[in-house]
Amino acid sequence: MSQANFLLIQSSMTKTNAIDGKPAKLLHLTNQHGMTATFMDIGATWLSCTLPVNKEHREILLRSLNMEEHIKQTAYFGSVVGRYANRISRGKFSINSKPYKITINDGDNSLHGGVNGFDKRRWTIESSRENSVTFSLYSKDGDQGYPANLQVKVTYTLTNDNELVIDYFAKSDSNCPVNLTNHAYFNLAGEQSNAKSLDHTLQMHADHYLPTHDDLIPTGELRAVKSTSFDFNQEKKIGAEFLSEQDQKIAGGYDHAFIFNKKLTNGEATVVTLTSPEKEVSMRVSTTKPAIQFYSGNFLAETPGASKIYQNYDGLALETQYLPDGPNHSEWGESSGILSAEATYQHQTTYQFEF
């Protein structure tokens, strides 16, 4: 992205004040190959990512046209979501037999931290360097109903290996649910293209997924992907078996947690590979998280975007995380997402691009 294009994005996101009545702050990184990444302090948002493909700067992230639309949208474009990414049934859970009730914003359930989640907050720009930026946020005890005082930091680093590395850190003063992820929507053919998420090819090294009830809360079963449309262990076009089973029909497509083979969640092994329809661009994901929410963009219809009004499946999200409704499933162990006061929440996810 040229400096002029960055200035256009900056202008569009700052001409209207953010939800707190002040203009957003944007930061822009470029590596030696011409890959760029732009970030915003509202929601610690990964706002833009361009790749030099066919002598043009291809925008591969979906985003809002301006701040006014960003405030209205419910897609969580590129934001860091929390305290707890994904859904918590009825907004209820218990820790050490003490019940908690958090804010409800998705039918009868809580989604991505509740009514005023981390995506809507202004984060502090803790530091910025030539190739990285660190955002921090302090969440008080009782925030959205969650227990504990929580300090959070997120660092984005753009490397010369065309990686966007996201480091998550959190520390609390008592036990509480913590599940941070980034909600970027990718279209490797380009944000302006007519290509759909269903036209992309996907490979995921995941042997199990979580089927859901009609409200997209997991049933609790860890179901084997073998012999189902949820098996992406071999590279497969996303649309190949689309809506072919009831578990997909419930969600209008893929909107499910996939559980990785534990030996691959070392932050180095490739757990997911996404390839553009024309095979010009691929993205490899590595992570220390146990699972990923693969969302095929089933609810994007009529959302105003950067270049057009988005429709369903115009982009897809690959959100590394603990398991949805985890605080209500202690049997899932670490994947239930409860951070103890003695522990440090530290995870890394890397998106590496080849073009």
For residue 86, pLDDT beyond 60? yes
Same-domain pairing of 106 and 13: yes
Q: How far apart are CA 41 and CA 123, in angstroms?
A: 5
pLDDT at residue 203, as a whole number: 98
Phi-psi region of 335 (alpha: psi -120 to 50; beta: other; left: phi over 0): alpha
Residue 68 in tokens: 């006014």
Same-domain pairing of 82 and 143: yes
Convert 204-222 into a string of H (helix), E (strand) and C (coil): ECEEEECCECCCCCECCCC
Q: Is the pTM of this model over 0.85?
A: yes
Spatial contact of 226 and 219, defined as CB atoms under 8 Å apart: no
Would you say residue 222 lies in a domain? yes
Same-domain pairing of 247 and 302: yes
Question: Considering only CA atoms, which of 57, 55, 42 is closest in space to residue 4?
Answer: 57
Would you say residue 355 lies in a domain? no
Q: Residue 38 — φ and ψ, nearest 5°?
A: -120, 140
Please report, in range form, the residues annotated as the binding site.
86-87, 183-185, 255
Number of independent structural domains in the chain: 2
pLDDT at residue 340, as a whole number: 97
Same-domain pairing of 170 and 56: yes
pLDDT tens digit string along 231-280?
999 999 999 999 999 999 999 999 999 999 999 999 999 999 999 999 99
Would you say residue 190 lies in a domain? no
Residue 17 in tokens: 């004040």
Residue 204 in tokens: 């995921």
Q: How confident is the model at residue 4 (pLDDT cuts 50, 70, 90)?
A: confident
pLDDT at residue 5, as a whole number: 79
pLDDT at residue 292, as a whole number: 98
Q: From the candidates 59, 69, 191, 319, which is the catalytic residue?
A: 319
pLDDT tens digit string along 336-354?
999 999 899 999 999 999 9
Q: How confident is the model at residue 3 (pLDDT cuts 50, 70, 90)?
A: confident
Same-domain pairing of 99 and 212: no
pLDDT at residue 141, as a whole number: 98
Q: What is the mean pLDDT of residues 207-232?
A: 98
319 is catalytic: yes
Spatial contact of 151 and 134, defined as CB atoms under 8 Å apart: no
Please report, in range form, the residues annotated as the binding site for beta-D-galactose.
86-87, 183-185, 255
For 92, the domain range is 3-182
Look at residues 121, 155, 182 and tell me which one is the last residue of a structural domain: 182
Would you say residue 335 lies in a domain? no
Residue 97 in tokens: 């037999």
For residue 1, pLDDT beyond 80? no
For residue 39, pLDDT beyond 60? yes
Would you say residue 245 lies in a domain? yes
Q: How confident is the model at residue 2 (pLDDT cuts 50, 70, 90)?
A: low
pLDDT at residue 31, as a whole number: 97
Look at residues 113, 148, 182 and tell me which one is the last residue of a structural domain: 182
Spatial contact of 242 and 198, defined as CB atoms under 8 Å apart: yes
* H-assigned helices in the chain: 3-14, 67-72, 246-251
Would you say residue 336 lies in a domain? no
pLDDT tens digit string along 122-173?
999 999 999 999 999 999 999 999 999 999 999 999 999 999 999 999 999 9
Question: Considering only CA atoms, which of 338, 303, 335 is closest in space to residue 94?
Answer: 338
Q: Could you give the dihedral angle defined by the CA atoms of residues 239, 244, 245 and 248, in that order, rounded to the nearest 10 degrees? A: 40
CATH code assigned at 211: 2.70.98.10
Q: From the candidates 28, 70, 112, 183, which is the catalytic residue?
A: 183
| Residue whose token pair is 């984005």 | 156
Spatial contact of 319 and 182, defined as CB atoms under 8 Å apart: yes
Distances (CA, A) of 236 to 168, 192, 339, 342: 30, 24, 36, 42
DSSP calls for 111-125: ETTSTT-GGGSBPEE
Q: How far apart are CA 167 and CA 144, in angstroms?
A: 24
Same-domain pairing of 202 and 279: yes
Would you say residue 347 lies in a domain? no
Q: How far apart are CA 282 and CA 188, in angstroms?
A: 7
Would you say residue 191 lies in a domain? no
Same-domain pairing of 45 and 172: yes
Same-domain pairing of 215 and 92: no
Query: What SS3 state is found at 354?
Result: strand
Same-domain pairing of 130 and 222: no
Q: How big, in percent rounded to 5, are the helix, strand and coil portions of the chain?
A: 15, 40, 45
Same-domain pairing of 169 and 221: no
| Residue whose token pair is 């996810």 | 349
Residue 191 in tokens: 């944000």
Same-domain pairing of 153 and 234: no
Same-domain pairing of 86 and 210: no
Greatest Cα pair distance in the chain? 59
